Structure 1
C-alpha cells in the first residue's frame, strides 16, 4: 500500500506493507539515523518526532503515519549540532548510538516544556536509554541548552 507522509519537510509517497513499522520504512528509505534497539518501544533508539511529539518508531505502524509529518535527525542538523556542543561541553559524548533519538527528544522537550525542573527533564527522558552514561552530565547540558538555572 502507498502512504503519503512528510519527512523532514519533504512530501513522500512510500510503498509499505500493512504490518511494517515506521522504523523499517524510514531505514529502507535512507533515514539511517533511526536506530534499531529493543523492537518493543522501550529503549528510545528509534525515536522520531511525529507531528511534534517524540514516538518510538519501532512500535508505530507505518500506515498510521499516513498524512502525518515525521522528523528525523537528518532534518534538524543545525539544531543537532548546537545541542551536540552543549553535550560535548559536559563530557557526555559517548558511543553515539542513542544520540540521534536523544537530540530529537531534547528538541521536543524545548518546544513542550517551559522552564523545566531537573525532575521534569528526567521524566521527559524516560523513553531514551543510554547505556554509556548516568545522565548527570546530560541533565547539566540540557539545562544549559534550555537556559534553565
Structure 2
C-alpha cells in the first residue's frame, strides 16, 4: 500500500509525525508537501494528494491542515474522492467500514500526536464492509456524476 500525504503550514508538524509512524511500520508514502511551517494555501495540497489517489499513484491519502476542514473540503472536490475528517478512532474506522473513505483528514491544531497516530493506525487497518454500504457509496457517486461539469 502506498499513501499520499500532504499538509499546509498548520498541519506540517503533525504530517511529519504521521510520516514517522508510516516509516516505522514499513508503509510506503509520497509526501506532496508542504515542507515547512511557512504559510501556504491548503487547497493546493488537498488537491495534489486527491489527484494522486484518483490517478492511482497512491492507494490512499492523508491530509492535514490546522483544523482538517479546509483541506478535506478541497480534497473532496476531486471526483471519486471520499475524504473523511476524523478526530477519533471510531469515526476513522467507520469512515472505512461504511463509507470506504480513500482519504483521511486530520486537524494539526485539533488532535495531538498520539491520538493522530491512533486514528491513522485504525484507519489503515479497517476494511470496507460492502453489502448495503456499497449501495450507499454508489448513490454518493451518482450525486457526484449529476453535478460534474
TM-score by length of 2: 0.30
TM-score by length of 1: 0.30
Rg larger for: 1
